[in-house]
């Protein structure tokens, strides 16, 4: 069975080539990627964040406590779904 990290890296590369992704899906992918690579969100968003950045940060905060492996698995599954 392939290593989860390799599958995650492949999914991240594939995500860059996705076309016509909704804002909600883009935000969810960003949050899952951040959780998988950085863990829980540490700093609150600054007042200078625009709405898109604030939405991304808020989505990431909602994943607090999710393990790296789970975030990677959910990211991989989301990319597969979006690829069709």
- H helices of 1-84, in order, are 4-16, 23-38, 51-61, 68-83
Residues near 12 by beta carbon (within 8 Å), at least 6 away in sequence:
33, 75, 79
The structural domains of the chain, with segments of one domain joined by +, span 4-83
Tens of pLDDT, residues 24-71:
999 999 999 999 999 999 877 666 668 888 899 999 999 999 999 999
Please tell me the predicted confidence (pLDDT) of residue 70.
Answer: 97
Please tell me the predicted confidence (pLDDT) of residue 84.
Answer: 83
Taking the domain 4-83, which CATH number applies? 1.20.80.10
């Amino acid at each position: 069975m392939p290593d989860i990290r390799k599958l995650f890296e492949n999914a991240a590369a594939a995500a860059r080539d996705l076309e016509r992704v909704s804002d909600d899906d883009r935000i969810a992918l960003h949050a899952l990627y951040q959780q998988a690579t950085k863990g829980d969100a540490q700093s609150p968003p600054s007042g200078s964040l625009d709405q898109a950045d604030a939405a991304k940060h808020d989505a990431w905060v909602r994943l607090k406590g999710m393990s790296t492996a789970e975030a990677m698995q959910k990211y991989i599954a989301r990319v597969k779904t979006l690829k069709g």
